Amino acid sequence: MSTRHDIEQGIEELADRARRHADDASDAARGWIARGRRAAARLDGQEYRRRLTRAAEDLADETSYRYRRLRRQVNRHPVATAAIVAGTLGAFLLLRRVLRERDGD
C-alpha cells in the first residue's frame, strides 16, 4: 500500500514541478512579448522616422564633406599625402609584427 502511495506522491510532485516550469516559461514568454511590443512602440511613429532620416542625411553630408576635403588635400599636397599614407602603413605593419611576436611567446 505504501508503495502505491509513494508512486502517486512521486507522480504528483513531478506534475507540480512540470507546472512550475511551464508557468515560469509562460511568464518569461509573456515578458519577452511585452518587451518586444514596447520596443516596437518606441520605433514606430513619425518622430522616429524623422530622426532616422536626419541622421542618415547628416552622415551622408559629413562623408561627402570629408571626401571633398581629402581630395583637395591630395591635389594641393600630393607628397605630404603620400608621406601620411606611408607612415600609416608603416605603423600598421610595425604594430602587426609586435603583436605577432607577443603571440608567439
pLDDT in tens, the chain (105 residues): 578 777 778 878 888 888 888 888 888 888 888 888 887 777 777 787 888 889 999 999 999 999 888 888 888 888 888 888 899 999 999 999 988 887 765
Q: Is residue 28 part of a domain?
A: yes
Q: Is residue 8 part of a domain?
A: yes
Q: What range does the domain containing 6 cover?
A: 1-44
Domain count, the chain: 1
Q: Is residue 95 part of a domain?
A: no
Can you tell me the distance from the alpha carbon of 89 to that of 29, in angstroms, rounded to the nearest whole number? 51
Q: Is residue 62 part of a domain?
A: no
Q: Is residue 29 part of a domain?
A: yes
Can you tell me the distance from the alpha carbon of 99 to that of 85, in angstroms, rounded to the nearest whole number? 21
Q: Is residue 35 part of a domain?
A: yes
Query: Structure pTM?
Result: 0.40
Cβ contacts of 81 within 8 Å, gap of 6 or more: 73, 74
Q: Is residue 11 part of a domain?
A: yes
Q: What is the DSSP letter of 45?
A: S
Q: Is residue 102 part of a domain?
A: no
